[in-house]
Homo-oligomer: A and B are copies of this chain.
């Protein structure tokens, strides 16, 4: 199984690289830089496993070439969001290397992100299935709305939990959910299984983002391998802080608001670590993973379904 998966992921990678090939050496050089960003390959893995899990034991039917193409598509969209996010966050480091914006300036990073988005849609169109294109477009619309909503709430100290979850659901979880949903659809999943996979992906995606936010607040930059503390610097209140503010008394609230106002990452980190904020957020993320695994019960038992459950667990136990 994991051999199969490894082979399939290698094919995803080959499709990804081939799609981005340009007539111009300067463009190819930029794309090679982006390939360095690729890490966990969570989204293509979810496409492949969802395909296998949707079709139960019938492994051959589950994993088609179309799954590999779709895996490359969602990874390309993800890379585009990383490149544009780094521009938004003025981040210098990603995966232990300089970001595109740091090396080549914001202009090139904006355009490279556009090139990735455009190529993702182009590659998706090669699947020759308008329904998949329509779903992908709907997912990326949702992702952009989430990012715009987050920008709209910058420096909003009264951001509430529901809005915060809505931002996360859109900017991060929508693409993870789309990867699972379409992975299932390409394997011929019926509507019920497709919905279960999408719900699994959404809950997993929300937990993933909470863990990301925790790492940005309280992680070790050496281990995480990217610029940390950007959320605070950019006035982004994320779920750990929002939950802590909502559950604290006046004294702790004041200490938090003071740390946020002073953009004091160390004080914020201490406050969250010592007064339960980190724990609340971890518990919330674990609850989303519990929910995610419940949705998997709609699918037939299979090694792929077990792997999906393990992958969801790993999302909240990672330190990078």
A residues neighboring B (CB under 8 Å): 22-24, 26-27, 30, 80, 84, 87-88, 104, 106-108, 110-115, 117-119, 121-130, 133-134, 136-138, 140-141, 143-145, 147-149, 151-152
Once bound together, how far apart are the Cα atoms of A113 and B147, in whole Å? 12
Which B residues are in CB contact (< 8 Å) with A24?
145, 148-149, 152
Give A269 Cβ to nearest chain B Cβ, in Å.
Answer: 24
Is B110 touching A87 in the complex (CB atoms < 8 A)?
A: yes
Contact A88/B111 with A122-B138, A148-B26 known, Cβ cut-off 8 Å: yes
Contact of A152 (CB < 8 Å), options: B26, B124, B125: B26
A137 touches B151 (CB 8 A): no
The 6 closest A-B pairs by CB, nearest first: A122-B137, A115-B144, A125-B133, A118-B140, A125-B134, A26-B152
B115 touches A134 (CB 8 A): no
26 contacting pairs across A/B (C-beta < 8 A): A24-B148, A26-B148, A26-B149, A84-B111, A84-B114, A87-B106, A88-B107, A111-B147, A111-B151, A112-B148, A115-B144, A115-B145, A118-B140, A118-B141, A118-B144, A119-B137, A119-B141, A121-B133, A121-B136, A122-B140, A124-B133, A124-B137, A125-B130, A125-B133, A129-B130, A130-B130
Cβ-defined contact, A141 with B122, below 8 A: yes
Chain B nearest Cβ from A177, distance in angstroms: 16
The minimal Cβ–Cβ distance linking A22 to chain B, given in whole angstroms, is: 6
**CB–CB B87/A145 < 8 A:** no
Measured CB to CB, the closest approach of chain B to A214, in angstroms, equals 23
Kindly state the separation between the CA atoms of A24 and B145 in the bound complex, as whole angstroms. Answer: 8
In angstroms, Cα B198 to Cα A274, docked, is 65
Residue among A87, A88, A117 having the largest count of chain B Cβ atoms under 10 Å? A117
Residue of A106, A114, A115, A149 with most partner-chain B CB within 10 A: A114
Bound together, the chains give a CA A119 to CA B141 distance in angstroms of 6
Kindly identify which residue among B125, B128, B129 contacts A137, using a CB–CB cutoff of 8 Å.
Answer: B125
Q: How far is the CA of A127 from the CA of B126 in the complex (A)?
A: 15
**Inter-subunit contact A30/B148 (CB<8 Å):** yes
CA distance A106 to B88 in the complex (A): 8
Residues of B within 8 A of A26 (CB): 148-149, 152
Q: A23-B145, A113-B114, A128-B130 are in contact. List 8 more A-B contacts (CB 8 A).
A: A106-B106, A115-B144, A118-B143, A118-B144, A122-B134, A122-B140, A123-B137, A126-B134
The residues of B that contact A144 with a CB separation of less than 8 Å are 111, 114-115, 118
Q: Which residue, A104, A126, A144, A149, has most C-beta atoms of chain B within 10 A?
A: A144
